[in-house]
Amino acid sequence: MKVGFLTGYSEEIVRFAGADSSFDCLEISGPPSEWVGDSGEATIARQNALSLIHQNGLTVASFLINWPSIRTGQADLPNALAQLGQVFDVCKEMDDAVATGAGPMGYNPDISLEENISLYKAVYSYVAELAEEKEVKIGFENWPGGGGPFSDGGNLAVTPEAWGLMFEAVPSPVMGLEFDPSHLIWQGIDVHLALDEFSDRVHIVHAKDTEVFDDQVQRSGVFRRGGWWRYRLPGFADFDWQRFFAMCHERQIDCPVVIEHEDAVFSGDRRPEGFTRCGVFLRSCLLQN
């Protein structure tokens, strides 16, 4: 499994990652607009960026993108698919990168989960067809959205229950997960059981942990907005990453592992240190082939 981190693209960050022996890939937040399209300028921009990435011993694991809402109307769908197709072309050209990101958004809490799945099917059947045509894998990150799980306009792909319904509604194997344990932990969902059930749908892993403050839970409960948990880098909270990667090895999951750095302890000037220390930790947990 390759190890990398989520970042915006710059020559500086590529050289930083390339100089660290822990990293061999990047998830790029974008792609930058100047890389998208079939113009000569866009082609040259992509080629130059990819050349720099490869010169530094790295590959592009994935591009974090925005997904069409499940409420997208049929009149707006062709334009959304056309834009998505251009992004998929970039993914394919640049190391067969996975198309990732939180989504699909647009959840409607006024109707049932099953009815939201019907909305998803009406839009994402076409997205799956396009991804199959372009030979690009999709990985939905299970971030619930700013309003919390199943909030208005939020993410559909939040729980194993929802994943199962999604993959039943649109069964294409290109549709998968950017599996992030951190968002399951604070919901009280067993990460290892979820991984076991959906091992064949894990196209990329977001390496992020959650620290839960049990004393605050006892006082305020789990419905308080904030304060009783926080995101941490792997290695600085309690999740069993060695067991997680052992399960990945047993189930033949061989996908990129990408650090999503949202750890306030390693913010500001300490942010690069967070990447470096987390990279070393993840390498120590992986079972090498």
Q: Average pLDDT of each block of 10 consecutive residues along the chain (289 residues)?
A: 97 98 96 96 98 98 97 97 98 98 96 98 98 98 91 96 98 98 96 98 98 94 88 97 97 97 97 98 87
- Give the model's pLDDT for residue 21: 96
Amino acid sitting at position 139: G
Phi-psi region of 257 (alpha: psi -120 to 50; beta: other; left: phi over 0): beta
CATH superfamily of 3-285: Divalent-metal-dependent TIM barrel enzymes (3.20.20.150)
Domain range annotation of the chain: 3-285
- Give the model's pLDDT for residue 226: 80
Residue 184 to residue 94: CA distance in whole angstroms: 31
- Give the model's pLDDT for residue 289: 52
Tokens of 147: 């309003």
- Give the model's pLDDT for residue 224: 84
- Indicate the length of the chain as a whole number: 289
Burial of 267 (0-12, 13-18, 19+ CB in 10 A): exposed
Would you call 204 helix, strand, or coil by DSSP? strand
**pTM of the predicted protein model:** 0.96
Give the torsion sign (CA, 59, 103, 280, 263).
positive
Tokens of 212: 């839960």
